[in-house]
A and B are shown apart, each in its own frame.
Chain A
Amino acid sequence: MVGGVDWAVMWYAIPYMLQGSLVTLQISALAMVLGSIVGLICGFLLLSELVALKWLVRAYVYFVRGTPALVQIFLVYFALPVIGIDIPAFWGGVVALGFNAGGFIAEIVRAGLQSIDMGQTEAAKAIGMTNRQTLQHILFPQSLRRITPPLTNELITLVKGSSLLSAISIYELTRSTQLIISQKFTPFELYALLAVFYLVIISILSRISEYVEARLA
């Protein structure tokens, strides 16, 4: 750093990093959608009376929580092709991150549903609602507001976690930056800039979710 900060290389990197950001956002959005669907179904199953499925979901959540996200990504990208499931890197990233988020979202949904006053469940039962109807029509709508803040956290974790996909050569934000560093040998400038990129992305997402939360209130 004798010559000070190299501003030029930062200007040079920005267009590439914006491209990488776009991929990061695409993967994160798709993974969040997948994770929400998986998490919602699993969260409901955790409170259902379907014992076998409940047990399977517990095992899934146990696995997701008990193993590093990077290992899960490697499993999808390197191990699945061995057993004949070959998916492109981009979609492998979506699947790995999506199922990772799904495990955590399942617990968020379960906790949200369980946090609703027992009287609501009793009243629903009293008019003859089944367990599923009670979850779907009474508990879930009321839990949305409580679920939103932890879901936002999960989305932020997911965006940050997507940087791990650089390890399987997906051209997302971190990978795009690393490629320029390997050409220009300016790690200080570009990693600092990378941090700023993530901060901006996550700040924007936080603001959006605050807005959504306020609308739900």
Chain B
Amino acid sequence: MTAAIDPLLHVRRLSKIYAGVPVLDRVDIDVMRGEIVMVVGPSGAGKSTMLRCINRIEDPSEGEVIVDGINMAGELRGGRLIADSSTQTARKRQKVGMVFQRFNLFAHLTALDNVAIGPQRVLRLPREESRRIASELLERVKLKAHANKRPWQLSGGQQQRVAIARALAMQPVLMLFDEPTSALDPELVGEVLEVIRNLAKDGMTMLVVTHEMQFAREVGTRIVFMDGGRIVEEAAPQVFFTSPRHDRSREFLRRVGRGNADQVG
């Protein structure tokens, strides 16, 4: 058995080309179980596109994504890739949780039902059990008191915490965060980062696209710097923030202020 040392996420030559322009350009990355990879870089670097191609919310133009030993594109038979149907892709996607910049809570459902709908409709658990799971998860993100509110009755920070609970309800092996605090008022950023921090402590494997450098430095086990659709530099947080190797990394860090708390905001 080699499962223990195999990466949980294995990405090779992942590319996305829009109208002839490579937004994501032959990206390779491996993420081990329990790693917290912080993806940073200027806007338009392809960070979000990389996440969206990993769980196939967007179809990559090229490349291979393997999550927990499962090829996200299809089955290899006799050296040939038999592409999945959209239903098979949906099933594989269950294991990859995603949290969006704009929360995207289901507008017609209460906080509780937003979390319960996945277990109930996708995992086909009984309604009562789904709601119990949802209730526990809302407690975990400290929102049990708001269980019966609709998304528009919640603050941005609360909505994002519900969105995290919704993703966790599917018991993912990997969580993707796409700028989870970028749409939040500054005073609400902390409560969302706190939830992500706790997830990290619990050992969840995560890929986090973020502009919160201080947070990336504290919580990340590795920093991935992207620019122009490619991974330019990968390093441990201490190394990346103190002695970046590439000019573009240095330029980026100079502009965002090195991730020092006193320079954020």
Contact = CB atoms under 8 A, between A and B. Distances in A.
A129 B90 contact: yes
Contacts of A126: 55, 57, 93, 96-98, 100, 167
A127 to B, nearest CB: 4
What is the interface of chain A mostly: helix, strand, loop, or mixed?
helix
Nearest to B176: A126
Interface stretch (B102-110, B134-142, B214-222): B102-110
Given A127-B94, A128-B93, A128-B170, A119 B102 contact: yes
Contacts of B121: 129, 133, 137
B117 interface: yes
How would you classify the secondary structure of chain B's contact residues: helix, strand, loop or mixed?
A: mixed
Given A123-B105, A137-B117, A130 B86 contact: yes
A138 B106 contact: yes
A39 B52 CA distance: 33
Interface string B104-126: 11111000000001100110000
B100 A122 contact: yes
Interface in A157-199: none
A86 interface: no
A138 B122 CA distance: 12
A143 to B, nearest CB: 10
A122 B90 contact: no
Contacts of B87: 130-131
B122 A127 contact: yes
Interface of A: 49, 117, 119-120, 122-131, 133, 137-138, 141-142
A-B residue pairs, 4 tightest by C-beta: A128-B94, A123-B104, A119-B104, A126-B98
